């Protein structure tokens, strides 16, 4: 086995770093025994081998790299939302706020990625589009994981992954409580009168807005005090939902800009499918309750 590829990061202390800096007269270290420590941690040399374009068109590299960046952001958002869900399951409202805030910021980064594709016209996309075959962002397993965590559930959408590890992972995620399911259970434990069927249901079925949950949020928001952690939770969740809504809108606009109302590469009717998807609301009672606040 190649020792360069198996090199690991060697931990250092503050004293060691100061000693090295003094020995280097403040200049960066330029000599290492094997692999550069940065690459041992980030695996940049591996990441940079993953861009394998299918055409000679120079613009395809932008499309491919941005798609890969979005995949990494999906993974990061999933990580944060899972952390938040686990905290809420354990009645830890305050610790759940940090991963939710981070998730909202990661979604801002994800949304910014769309801006780097604004140069792409239909003619630009058409130069390599046919080579993508039936490949489509619709088939992203990690994006589906994010949707499931946010409470957007459609069992049919895991069918493309049959026969893969992703299928088993998505099946498990589909039958677990979403982040919003855990929020509803938390509200019930905090004394809010919610319909019993909300707490004992088939999680694979998408949650629909319920007046009892909306009423709970109205009561929560009536207390503006700093100790009202549930209100802070509501605002953190609203920020996540808002930024995720921005992503869906920017996705729709990018598709309209590059292919109009053409059929999608994955077989959908493109823009029309995305417009229908946008009608499914994340954390719906956070929005319906605002009418009564």
265 marked among binding-site residues: yes
129 is in an annotated binding site: yes
**Can you give the length of the chain in residues?**
293
User: Does the annotation list 276 as a binding residue?
Assistant: no
Assign residue 2 a region (left: φ > 0; alpha: ψ between -120 and 50; beta: otherwise).
beta
SS3 letters across the chain: CCCCCCCCCCCCCHHHHHHHHHHCCCCCCCCCCCCCHHHHHHCHHHHCCCCCCCCCCCCHHHHHHHHHHHHHHHHHHHHHHHHHHHHHHCCCHHHHHHHHHHHHHHHHHHHHHHHCCCCCCHHHHHHHHHHHCCCCHHHCHHHHHHHHHHCCCCHHHHHHHCCCHHHHHHHHHHCCCCHHHHHHHHHHHCCCCCCHHHCCCCCCCCCCCCHHHHHHHHHHHCCCCCCCHHHHHHHHHHHHHHHHHHHHHHHHHHHHHHHCCCCCCCCCCCHHHHHHHHCCCCCHHHHHHHHCC
| 3 vs 35: CA distance, rounded Å | 9
Residue 120 Cα distances to 62, 66, 240, angstroms:
9, 12, 28
Q: Which amino acids are annotated as binding site for heme, given as ranges?
A: 251
Q: Which amino acids are annotated as binding site for substrate, given as ranges?
A: 129, 265
Q: Which amino acids are annotated as binding site, given as ranges?
A: 129, 251, 265
């Amino acid at each position: 086995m190649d020792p360069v590829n198996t090199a690991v990061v060697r931990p250092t202390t503050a004293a060691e770093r100061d000693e090295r800096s003094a020995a280097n007269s403040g200049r960066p270290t330029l000599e290492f025994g094997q692999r550069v420590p940065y690459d041992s941690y980030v695996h940049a040399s591996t990441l940079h081998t993953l861009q394998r374009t299918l055409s000679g068109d120079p613009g395809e590299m932008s499309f491919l790299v941005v798609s890969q960046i979005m995949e990494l952001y999906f993974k990061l958002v999933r990580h944060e939302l899972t952390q938040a869900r686990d905290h809420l399951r354990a009645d830890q409202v305050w610790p759940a706020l940090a991963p939710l805030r981070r998730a909202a910021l990661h979604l801002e980064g994800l949304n910014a990625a769309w801006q780097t594709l604004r140069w792409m016209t239909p003619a630009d996309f058409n130069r390599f589009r046919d080579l993508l075959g039936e490949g489509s962002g619709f088939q992203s397993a990690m994006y589906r994981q994010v949707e499931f965590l946010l409470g957007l559930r459609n069992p049919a959408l895991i069918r493309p992954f049959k026969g893969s590890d992703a299928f088993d992972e998505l099946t498990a995620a589909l039958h677990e409580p979403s982040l919003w399911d855990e929020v509803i259970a938390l509200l019930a434990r905090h004394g809010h009168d919610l319909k019993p069927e909300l707490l004992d249901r088939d999680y694979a079925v998408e949650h629909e807005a319920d007046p009892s949950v909306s009423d709970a949020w109205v009561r929560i928001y009536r207390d503006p005090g700093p100790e009202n952690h549930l209100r802070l939770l509501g605002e953190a969740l609203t920020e996540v939902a808002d930024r995720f809504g921005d992503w869906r809108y920017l996705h729709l606009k990018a598709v309209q800009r590059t292919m109009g109302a053409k059929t999608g590469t994955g077989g959908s009717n493109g823009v029309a499918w995305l417009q229908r998807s946008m009608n499914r609301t994340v954390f719906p009672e956070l929005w319906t309750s605002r009418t009564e606040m």
